[in-house]
Structure 1
Amino acid sequence: MGGAFAAGVLAATLYGGSPAGADPAALPTTAGEAVQRMVDLSRQSEQLNQQALDVQTDLDAKLVLQHEADVELAESTEVADHAREEVRKFQPVVDRTVIAAYQGARTNRLFAVLTSNSPQQLLDQMSTLDVLSTKTSDQMNLFKSATNAATAAESAARAADNKARAAATRADQVRAELESKRAGLSGAIAQVVSAWGTLSAKDKTALAGSPFPPGFDRDSLLQGLVPGSGTSALAAGLTRIGDPYVWGATGPGQFDCSGLVQWAFKQVGKTVPRTSSQQANYGTPVDKDDLQPGDVVFFYSDISHVGIYAGNGLMLHASTFGVPVAVAPMSSTPYHSARRY
């Protein structure tokens, strides 16, 4: 197949769906169909790659919450155990008081008056009763406080236990989703690699295309760089031209689309999220008519592709399997939005 034809297929369908009426399960019968199938499968694998990365990020966050809930549970349990121990310290006093009351112990002032044989004995008995009463009252108050603290601590421990169980359940659910996404991605990658193997060397070269479009002037584009700016990140990214696309890769020698963006901005001191959908919520929105070199541009309704704007309707991106990092027209990909970091 001629290079011009293959390039035309690539430009028209690099991130598009299958042609109308095409059967995705049918084996290609022409070189053009083989390239088309390769492109379609690559697109699907890229979507799955970004989805799997999003779920992995979600799982990481859920595991952090689970750990925090487990720590809270351990601390609450320790407090509850200590509170119950405090209650046990006062239990003998409470038991003696209850038994004395049950047995009809005479511990009031009237009893002292009735049983005293002399004024001095009366004073002594009343003084002793005051001391015992105060001591018992104090200990009963302490017992009550300890009981209230134990009740509150046990309630907190139960709440922490429920929280930890819920966090573990959510983490397990996300982990199962991640395993499903990874299985789907693994299958998609196998199909892409298989389809790649059906292409001739000439078709592979045509599919890879040129690293720069005609007339692209990198030196003029990068004049007057501002340290830490988006243009500086673009300059860093341009040093990776020709590096291969690899699912889940973040550099320095191979990338997926969001991995390239993350790596480029890391070189200028900015830490941006890992996936395209997360990156679409970072920085500030930019209207398409106000794009400047170094802005981050997103594509598709599910924001499953991302690149760095390179001016004149072009973008730097890690395209797809078989296509190295390159500068390409944005018009070949359904535009979604843009952000400035």
Structure 2
Amino acid sequence: MTTVVLGAFLITTGTAPVAAAEDIDTLIATMDEASHEATATSEEVKQLEVDIGQGQGRIDTLRADADAARQRAEVARAARADFQEEVDGLAGVKYRGLLIDPVTNAIAAATPQNAIDRASYLATLTRNTERAVDKLAETTAEAGRAHTDAERFLAEANFQQSQLERQHRDLAAEQEVLQERIREIEEQVTGLDAASRAAWENKNNPLTPDLAGASGVVAAALAKLGSPYGWGATGPNQFDCSGLMFWAYQQQGKTIPRTSQAQLAGGTPVPRAELQPGDIVGYYPGITHVGMYIGNGQLVHASDYGIPVQVVSVDSMPWAGAVRY
């Protein structure tokens, strides 16, 4: 619907629409809606890319765990074979009649010392038998546990792999939709006449910030005033909304989540009345846009395609929340 309405403007006025003053607000509102939809899709695509990367890492970990469990099972099976051999040997000794009861031992002994020595030997064989049997049971159990672990890790890895493949398909579809929306927005912005272009760039009523005293992450963000908007860009020359936040915090040696939704979910929530410079503010339902509070009721942000990084009022867009890192 957005494209159809804007298309009417373009068809009516040509590639450089010269809209009447009363129509410019409608034109900008229509473009703003289209750009907002594209930005929301862009944030979804970026989050899906993050999820895919994390999913691949999870699969790699699970497969490594499965390999380690299989190795433990092999070691346990080898140990079990050794103890089984020992138990079989002791059983053979008993079968050949060398393990006799104490009374028979005493009667058959030539001397008391001989009886003591033989009793000691018989006790040692008994203890060795018990130890070998216990070790055999222990290694058998360990081999079973390790085998079960390996199967479980492998099954989980295979499940995660199927999920990852589905996410790749979703990503490809989302990227196709996004690229079409981006193409439309870029064509629309390029086709604006001077008055409409100025209205587009000033739609959020940009302010002239007081740069004196800015430091840390705020100074990093403000250093990029005037930089062009770039879909999915994280600098150093182009930025999207969350990309500017990501880049500014990186300059201070701190890594924050990549997308607008994740950025608002990852920090400590801050109420509107307690905002401090450096806090990240989210806007619109679903938190599809973010900017950085710089003090004095002002916000620096990368707004939309065709609009450079600028400072606006922190209340210039529908508030969704704020966080501190």
Percent of aligned positions with the same letter in both sequences?
28
Distance 1:290 1:96, change over 3 A: closer
Between the aligned partners of 1:210 and 1:306, the Cα distance in structure 2 is 18
- Report the alpha carbon displacement of residue 148 of structure 1 after superposing the two structures with TM: 0.9
RMSD over equivalenced CA pairs, Å: 3.3
Between the aligned partners of 2:93 and 2:291, the Cα distance in structure 1 is 83
1:30 aligns with 2:33: no
Name the counterpart of 1:302. Answer: 286
Aligned equivalent of 1:187, options 177, 180, 187:
177
Q: State the SS of the aligned residue for 1:206.
A: helix
TM-score where L is the length of structure 2: 0.79
Q: Answer whether contact 1:38 1:196 (CA < 8 A) is retained.
A: no
Between the aligned partners of 1:46 and 1:320, the Cα distance in structure 2 is 8
- How many residues align structurally? 308
Moved more, 276-285 or 205-214: 205-214
Distance 1:249 1:72, change over 3 A: same
Name the counterpart of 1:250. Answer: 234
- Report the alpha carbon displacement of residue 306 of structure 1 after superposing the two structures with TM: 0.3
Between the aligned partners of 1:65 and 1:188, the Cα distance in structure 2 is 27
1:63 aligns with 2:56: yes
Between the aligned partners of 2:165 and 2:40, the Cα distance in structure 1 is 19
1:206 aligns with 2:198: yes
Aligned equivalent of 1:327, options 311, 315, 324:
311
Matches within 5 A, 1:40-55: 40-55=33-48
- Per-residue CA deviations over 1:286-325 (Å, capped at 9, x if unaligned) read 2213334432110122112100124454422111223222
Q: Answer whether contact 1:298 1:336 (CA < 8 A) is retained.
A: yes
Q: Answer whether contact 2:83 2:135 (CA < 8 A) is retained.
A: no
Name the counterpart of 1:39. Answer: 32
- Unaligned 5+ segments in structure 2 are 11-22
Q: Answer whether contact 2:72 2:146 (CA < 8 A) is retained.
A: no
Name the counterpart of 1:238. Answer: 222
Moved more, 43-52 or 205-214: 205-214
Between the aligned partners of 1:106 and 1:279, the Cα distance in structure 2 is 74
Aligned equivalent of 1:224, options 197, 213, 218:
213
TM-score where L is the length of structure 1: 0.76
- Unaligned 5+ segments in structure 1 are 1-22
Name the counterpart of 2:110. Answer: 119
Distance 1:243 1:183, change over 3 A: farther
- Per-residue CA deviations over 1:150-179 (Å, capped at 9, x if unaligned) read 313431441243134314423541452254
